Amino acid sequence: MTATIAALSSGAGKAGVAVVRLSGPAVGAALRQIAGGAPTPRMAALRRLRGAAGEEIDRALVLFLPGPASFTGEDVAEFHVHGGRAVIAALIDTLTAIPGIRLAEPGEFTRRAVENGKLDLTAAEGIADLVEAETAGQRRQALRQAGGALERAASAWRAELTRALALLEAEIDFPDEEDVPALFAVATATATRLVGEVEAALAGAARGERLREGARIVIAGPPNAGKSTLLNALARRDVAIVSAIPGTTRDTIEVHLDLDGYPATLIDTAGLRQTEDPVEAIGVARALDRAGSADLVVWLSPADAPADPPDLAVPLLRVATKRDRIDSPPQRCDLAISALTGAGLETLTDRLAQAARAALEGGEAALVTRARHRRELEAMAVHLGRVAAADAATPVEFAAEDLRLAVRAIGRLTGSVDIDEIYDVIFRQFCIGK
């Protein structure tokens, strides 16, 4: 029998209220044992919760959400208890001592929702993104996806492809030379139209993925230019090691920032210079690699020892640091800052926010928000492209196989084929209780 799963679904740590969620066939038995019976479905009821020996654990709001009209599709109960550690521990211990009930794994509630057909995989990913969303733009994008924006597009594509495929398969099973051109015309017209739609969705992919992950801003420059110091000043907390020894920042350090509502990842790189030290050399190589995929490279060099950046094919902002060390205006830079006096930091933050906005704007409307989506849509476009280019000389079987492979790519996208391998990767990234 399916296990019934229990978990704390609200945040860890002391809080006014904590929500413990239970899903599965043992929900009714659990409610009888600890809450004196199941409350009226979907109505909040104030109940005394009792432990195995009948002792009172807490008084709590209890919700009973019978399946299949619940989030997971199974019987679900929610206990809104006082959010103290001991209360939560006593409730979870009592629940998991009931036969058939165990602790939930990360993402297991959502996984059940997908397995029971309540959500497709892309909507489930939207829920994960909603939990992770740190900025308003990320929240809106995640909400759209959790609401099934990509799911609807995918199911419309699948319906059209299945129809075209059925026509071709009928032709393969009951060959009739005269019908072939007409059937081909339907298949190629469908494929041509869908290639256009898939490519339009892919066009927004970069922004959609960026919005999820944040714009990438790389801080680079020679050792001792003041990169770590700047990062700390920007992040307003001690995240990077600040030291006067060149090459201390051997690897990269990433900090997530909200720049005027636009998410950004600031990446502090190792000193960009030729080096004999193998460990540092790896850091330098990685730094250059990062800089190559950045939305903006902020090139720092000391006002009293200016250095030129390497050639990079990404937007560059040249910043002179340690402005306090020289009297005359610094040379060879777009702006000058001093982490010591705070001069220029506000202008710099504005410039970073502008760069993040430019990299992310338009992302909210994107259907494609993950590399996984992009891969499947690209596969779809390849197969559909072949069908679109088919002519009288193309065997019907070939066109049918390409349509089948395109449908399969949609199946991987929405989680209806190759389920186990995809699910394991995706649900592992969820938090427990979701």
Q: Write the burial class of residue 236 (CB in 10 Å: 0-12 exposed, 13-18 middle, 19+ buried).
A: exposed
Q: Could you say whether residue 243 binds ligand GDP (CB under 6 A)?
A: yes
Considering only 73-81, 126-134, 137-145, 241-249, which stretch makes contact with ligand GDP by CB under 6 A? Answer: 241-249
Exactly one of 23, 110, 141, 224 binds ligand GDP (CB under 6 A); that residue is 224
Instruction: Tell me: is residue 270 an annotated ligand-binding position.
Output: yes
**Which C-beta is closer to ligand GDP: that of 286 or that of 374?**
286
Q: Could you say whether residue 227 binds ligand GDP (CB under 6 A)?
A: yes
CB of 317 to ligand GDP, least distance (A): 16
Tokens of 305: 């020892």
**Which C-beta is closer to ligand GDP: that of 103 or that of 242?**
242
**Which C-beta is closer to ligand GDP: that of 229 or that of 275?**
229
Please name which of 327, 324, 322, 325 lies closest in space to residue 302, comparing C-alpha atoms. 322
3-state secondary structure of 260: coil
Instruction: Tell me: is residue 434 an annotated ligand-binding position.
Output: yes
Peptide bond before 315: cis, by omega within 30 degrees of 0? no
Considering only 13-21, 38-46, 77-85, 318-326, which stretch makes contact with ligand GDP by CB under 6 A? Answer: 318-326
Question: Taking the CB of residue 408, how many other CB atoms lie within 10 A of it?
Answer: 17
**Which C-beta is closer to ligand GDP: that of 107 or that of 221?**
221
Considering only 87-95, 106-114, 226-234, 282-290, which stretch makes contact with ligand GDP by CB under 6 A? Answer: 226-234
Burial 413-432 (b: 16+ CB within 10 A, else e): bbbbeeeeebbeebbeebeb
Indicate the residue type of 67: G
Exactly one of 110, 228, 275, 369 binds ligand GDP (CB under 6 A); that residue is 228
- Residue 366 to residue 145: CA distance in whole angstroms: 9
CB of 302 to ligand GDP, least distance (A): 8
Tokens of 121: 């995989």
Q: Are 48 and 118 in contact (CB under 8 A)?
A: no
- Residue 167 to residue 104: CA distance in whole angstroms: 45
Instruction: Tell me: is residue 268 an annotated ligand-binding position.
Output: yes
Q: Are 48 and 59 in contact (CB under 8 A)?
A: yes
Q: Are 140 and 364 in contact (CB under 8 A)?
A: yes
CB of 339 to ligand GDP, least distance (A): 4
Give the footprint of ligand GDP on this chain (CB under 6 A): 221, 223-229, 242-244, 249, 271, 321-322, 324-325, 338-340
* Residue numbers belonging to the annotated binding site: 21, 78, 118, 224-229, 243-249, 268-271, 434
Binding residue ranges for (6S)-5-formyl-5,6,7,8-tetrahydrofolate: 21, 78, 118, 434
